[in-house]
Amino acid sequence: MKDLSRVVHRPSVSHEGFSSLAVPTYRASTIVFENAEEYANRKTRGPDGYTYGLHGTPTTKTLEAQLTALEGGERTVIVPSGQAGITIVFLTVLRPGDKVLIPDTAYPPVKGFCVNYLEPRGIHHEVYDPMIGGEIDALIDETVKLVWMESPGSTTMEFQDIPAIVAAAKAKGVLTGCDNTWATPLLFKPIAHGVDFSMEALTKYVGGHSDILLGSITVNEVKHHRALKDTTRMIGIGVSPDECALALRGIETMGVRIKHMGEVSTDFARRIREFPGVRKVLHPTLPDCPGHEYWERDFAGANGVFTVVADPIDEHVLGDALSSMKIFSIGASWGGTHSLIVPMSISRECSATPGGEDGVLLRISVGLEDKDELWEDLDTLFKTLAAKRGAGLAAAQ
């Protein structure tokens, strides 16, 4: 081979005797075929085969297989983000004239997608009270084709009666999907409860280090896999094997990370309850958490993410107190090694759940830092807020 060919065509080296514990990162756009006939017949390889880099490499398929095994499903599809995991299920299942039921407490961009993308295309949605349980039956008319769940709800932490909702949907032949990002398959297995699509933002606990964006959809039937792969192929959606390699690395330590974060958050939740000005702590181990009994019945434990509801306080005072925390950072997304805290506002247009909290909601994601230092930070925060509230009251009198 001449040099100009040699620079393109490398010699192949033996893999014999090479056995590594790491998953190789296989990058590819082109997949080459043995001969022209194989290329011509590539469609017969189906959604499990290799045909083009966009549709998967051994790295992406290893992550898919790992998640399928953990979720107890039949197949998994990896997509570029958690949000894409939700929208791809909706786009696959729903046709014009159909309706999807979504819980009021769903990850907020879900409602945005329904209102701003699906509705103008003739696909409808109805928002339901996350604590509806089996009474969801009354909302399932003949146009409903999908019931979406998210347990617990983003920020407000409602654990849903998933078995009751699934039973009502199944009785009418309607498909169900569940956002399992909070629990991960280590704490809850939707497929075992009859859910058809178990979606997860791998961005959070699976990645675990705040450096990737990925989502997954695990299904209980091969036909749903084929339908999802048809959607991603037609829209042109694929994922980078580099991101999948990071997810495969992250997932190896997910068990110890979640166990530790769950223990620390459980302890913190109990102690935070004692501060003046704290109304309640929405942590699954505490009875104040809506659906606490369903968590006890269906889930295997807690993780590091929970919410504190505190008395109202001036926005700037709160901002200053949060900004002066030493270990906690302020930022969205959660489930990483760095502890996070964010003030959340719960504004619900067309709300199915009246009322809501008028206080301050602080969402906390416990990371892996020194527990005592984390507590010092929280102790200072809640004592500062209590003191400022007291001073505010005194000044007003």
Ligand X SMILES: *Cc1c(COP(=O)(O)O)cnc(C)c1O
Q: Name the minimum Å distance from CB 362 to ligand X.
A: 16
**Which residue stretch of 12-20, 81-89, 136-144, 163-171 sits at the interface with ligand X (rule: CB under 6 A)?**
81-89
First-to-last alpha carbon distance for the chain, in angstroms, is: 91
**Nearer residue to ligand X within complex by CB, 198 or 384:** 198
- Amino acid identity for residue 221 in this structure: E
Figure out which of the listed residues 76, 181, 198, 339 binds ligand X, where binding follows CB under 6 A: 181
**Which residue stretch of 37-45, 76-84, 161-169, 273-281 sits at the interface with ligand X (rule: CB under 6 A)?**
76-84
Site for ligand X in 144-163 (CB under 6 A): 150, 154
Site for ligand X in 102-131 (CB under 6 A): 107
Q: Name the minimum Å distance from CB 345 to ligand X.
A: 16
**Which residue stretch of 77-85, 129-137, 160-168, 388-396 sits at the interface with ligand X (rule: CB under 6 A)?**
77-85
Figure out which of the listed residues 114, 131, 213, 254 binds ligand X, where binding follows CB under 6 A: 213
**Nearer residue to ligand X within complex by CB, 89 or 385:** 89
Q: How far apart are CA 69 and CA 57, in angstroms?
A: 18
Figure out which of the listed residues 25, 81, 337, 380 binds ligand X, where binding follows CB under 6 A: 81
> Look-up: residue for tokens 């008028």?
358
C-alpha neighbours within 13 Å on the C-beta side of residue 171: 13
Q: Name the minimum Å distance from CB 107 to ligand X.
A: 4
**Which residue stretch of 17-25, 44-52, 196-204, 353-361 sits at the interface with ligand X (rule: CB under 6 A)?**
196-204
Q: Cβ neighbours of residue 292 under 8 Å, at least 6 residues apart?
A: 159, 284, 285, 286
Burial of 358 (0-12, 13-18, 19+ CB in 10 A): exposed
Number of residues that bind ligand X (CB under 6 A): 14
DSSP, res 291: T
Q: How far apart are CA 386 and CA 131, in angstroms?
A: 32
Verify binding: residue 380, ligand X, rule CB under 6 A.
Answer: no
Figure out which of the listed residues 64, 179, 298, 357 binds ligand X, where binding follows CB under 6 A: 179
DSSP, res 23: P
The angle subtended at Cα 284 by Cα 280 and Cα 290, nearest 5°, is: 65
CA 245 to the chain's CA centroid: 18
Figure out which of the listed residues 47, 185, 208, 215 binds ligand X, where binding follows CB under 6 A: 215
**Which residue stretch of 79-87, 114-122, 165-173, 226-234 sits at the interface with ligand X (rule: CB under 6 A)?**
79-87
* C-alpha distance from residue 260 to each of 256, 366, 371 (Å): 6, 9, 10
Radius of gyration of the chain (CA): 24
Burial of 184 (0-12, 13-18, 19+ CB in 10 A): buried
Q: Name the minimum Å distance from CB 119 to ligand X.
A: 20
Residue nearest to ligand X (CB): 82
- Amino acid identity for residue 238 in this structure: G
> Look-up: residue for tokens 């009021």?
104
**Nearer residue to ligand X within complex by CB, 364 or 385:** 364
**Nearer residue to ligand X within complex by CB, 70 or 202:** 202
Q: How far apart are CA 133 and CA 150, in angstroms?
A: 13
**Which residue stretch of 15-23, 184-192, 200-208, 276-284 sits at the interface with ligand X (rule: CB under 6 A)?**
200-208
**Nearer residue to ligand X within complex by CB, 188 or 382:** 188
Confirm if 228 and 77 have CB atoms less than 8 A apart.
yes
Q: Name the minimum Å distance from CB 249 to ligand X.
A: 17
Rounded-to-10 torsion of CA 258, 259, 264, 266: 100
Binding residues vs ligand X (CB under 6 A): 81-83, 107, 150, 154, 179, 181, 201, 203-204, 213, 215, 333
